[in-house]
Amino acid sequence: MNIDSINNGIVIDHITAGNGMKLYELLKLGDLDCSVAIIKNVTSHKMGRKDIIKIDADIPVNLDVIGFVDPGATINIIRDGVLVEKRAIEMPERLVGVIKCKNPRCITSCEQEIEHIFKLTDREHKVYRCIYCETKAN
């Protein structure tokens, strides 16, 4: 398989195998007007298997989404074909507008203008809860 290198853009690397599509959807990468490559189940010496996403455009990426889905991922910024920055991703303390509360009795279900906000309540188990009703995020 041959995936071209990118000249200016972003590579999301070290994604746990199977999480690439979830990141693609939450980051709304399908809406972009540029090339996006999702490489699944790549052999990795460090992880065994991993996913990689290459975005052939220098765009802002919501790091909170990446930290929520896979805090072990890394972001590589590429400019003129050269790696200029590498960032490790951590779990955010709060998620604003990233996911929606599934509780039908939550205030966010009937008040459409209220923003969905989740707080990190258990870092070890990666548990986020709605700040309004305490429902656990899936």
Tens-place pLDDT, residues 44-87: 888 889 999 999 988 888 999 999 999 989 999 999 988 999 99
- Domain check: are 99 and 120 in the same one? yes
The reported pLDDT for the residue numbered 3 is 64
The answer to whether residue 40 scores a pLDDT higher than 70 is: yes
Last residue of a domain, one of 57, 72, 88: 88
Range(s) of the domain holding residue 54? 9-88
- Residue 32 confidence class, pLDDT cut points 50, 70, 90: confident
The reported pLDDT for the residue numbered 43 is 87
Which one-letter DSSP state was computed for residue 129?
A: E
The whole-angstrom separation of Cα 76 and Cα 2 is 20
Q: How many CB atoms lie within 10 A of CB 20?
A: 23
| Mean of per-residue pLDDT scores for the chain | 91
The reported pLDDT for the residue numbered 1 is 56
The reported pLDDT for the residue numbered 134 is 96
Q: What is the CATH classification number for the domain harbouring 15?
A: 3.30.70.140
- Residue 2 confidence class, pLDDT cut points 50, 70, 90: low
Q: How many domains does the chain have?
A: 2
The reported pLDDT for the residue numbered 110 is 87
In this structure, which amino acid lies at residue 74?
T
Structure-model confidence comparison of residues 122 and 7, the more confident one: 122
- Domain check: are 55 and 14 in the same one? yes
* Range among 31-40, 56-65, 99-108 with highest mean pLDDT value: 99-108
- Domain check: are 100 and 40 in the same one? no
DSSP β-bridge partners for residue 83 = 78
- H-helix segments, 1-138: 20-26, 63-69, 107-110
The whole-angstrom separation of Cα 49 and Cα 37 is 17
The answer to whether residues 107 and 120 touch, using CB atoms and an 8 Å cutoff, is no
